[in-house]
Structure 1
Amino acid sequence: MAETLRRLAALVGALGAAVAVFLSSGVSAMAAQPSDVTPFIVGGSRVSTSTYPWVVHLTTASGFQFCGGTLVRPNKVVTAAHCTAGDSPSAVRVVAGRDDKQSTAGVVAKVTRIWVHPRYDVEAGNDVSVLTLDRNLPNATLPLASGSDTALYAPGTNATILGWGTTREGGSASRYLLGATVPVTSDSYCASAYPREFAARGEVCAGYERGGTDTCQGDSGGPLAAGGKLIGVTSWGQGCARAGKPGVYARVSAHHAALSEQLDS
């Protein structure tokens, strides 16, 4: 996917330590240092897990944040397949209830099992994954959108995006949880923005035509939420917050059956 590289957070092992590398539009950017306290994501603002208790972030065993996720059962997290494909459960941690990545607030859970959609492919989509945790978390969970939730995907529906990712294209990551509101776009608009890459069957776009507000590197796997449900999983886009290039999210309703099977296992 040369023109629209995914907001990829790949874990790379080196001498027993994992390092996250983020790729976007051919530009590679290492994650922010803990001293980064930039208060704004791309067009967003600082928010709290007390308002969004189901948003979590993924880290390496050493504490390096590389993706986001959504708690959908007390011991189940939905994230992006490209965040976890090829990883062993022992390499990943899930952090809940922690706004500030430098703090010790909240809970850090280990992962006991990773499920990646069997038809996931960087070119073909199906960018969803389920993590099973070693414990039940006390946080509230967010239900999955199903096939009956068509109204939540109507163009113009306001949806919430959340994450600890970079605050501008090619920039550094946020120390704090950031959030923003973006409208769901029509499939035809997204198809015109990404004529060779967008797959309406399993993906949905959200963003302003003028750009300015978007998820970015490090936000992968995080939620696109509307109507009290998880409607999308942050997946990819061309750059970040560019005009005419909305963010692309895995369409949760299209993957409801496969995800539900994993949540009940």
Structure 2
Amino acid sequence: MIKQTKTNFTLIELLVVMLLMGFLITLMLPGFNRMISGNKVDQMASNLKLALEQAQSHAITSRRYVALVLPSNKSAWETEEQRYCLGGYRMAYVKNSGSTSTWKFQKWVPDSVWKNAPDGAMLVEVVGSANTNRFQTQFQNPGNGLPNTVTDVNTSLGNNLLTLSRYSYDASTSTSESRSNCAVVFSPYGGVKGNEDLRFVIAEAIPNGDNLLFPSRDNAGPTNYRVLNLNRFTGKVDYLSIQ
């Protein structure tokens, strides 16, 4: 009979294997990070689409005006709310103030809580459908159109969203504060208050001070983004493709 001998790995062999594994992980990590970042953009777009659909549905079933509050300008919001700027949202009941651009905050929708955007994805622009040139041409050249700074993003979101008066972050306190340009308002009939369709641009972006960094981009501009189109007449939300 032939006696079989059992051999063990030497320390040098184990170190070589560990070194190779570390080298392979280092090579794969950037691609893995890009995949995760891309998924976050899809995740945020999907979440925002669902939030808009839920706000419309609740407006119809409750027979009330319902706003999806989208904080933008961080300097105008309290510390507790700043974490939800540029992608966070929450539903609230509102009523007409006599102005087409300003609505009175009444209270938060029961069981509605603040939802935040995932790290690495941001709501960088809300564009009116009438501004086709800016949306289709300038968007693909960040130097001319897409916001490059957090301040520019705040301006973009503010120019196309409605204002809330008598706003209260804490339902237990009574305030008469105003939050400028931060809401999409749905009517009891399902339509959106405003003069044009709204297009929401969600992109892979990282704030660096006041500047925005776009990790996935080419010479034409950012490549990892999603666009949602909100029809003001029907309240329907669809994904929009830029050619």
The verdict on a shared fold, with TM-score over 0.5 as the criterion, is no
Higher normalized strand content (fraction of residues):
1
TM-score range, shorter chain: under 0.3
Q: Which one has the largest radius of gyration?
A: 2
TM-score (norm 2): 0.25
Higher relative contact order (CA 8 A, sep 6+): 1
More helix by share: 2
TM-score (norm 1): 0.24
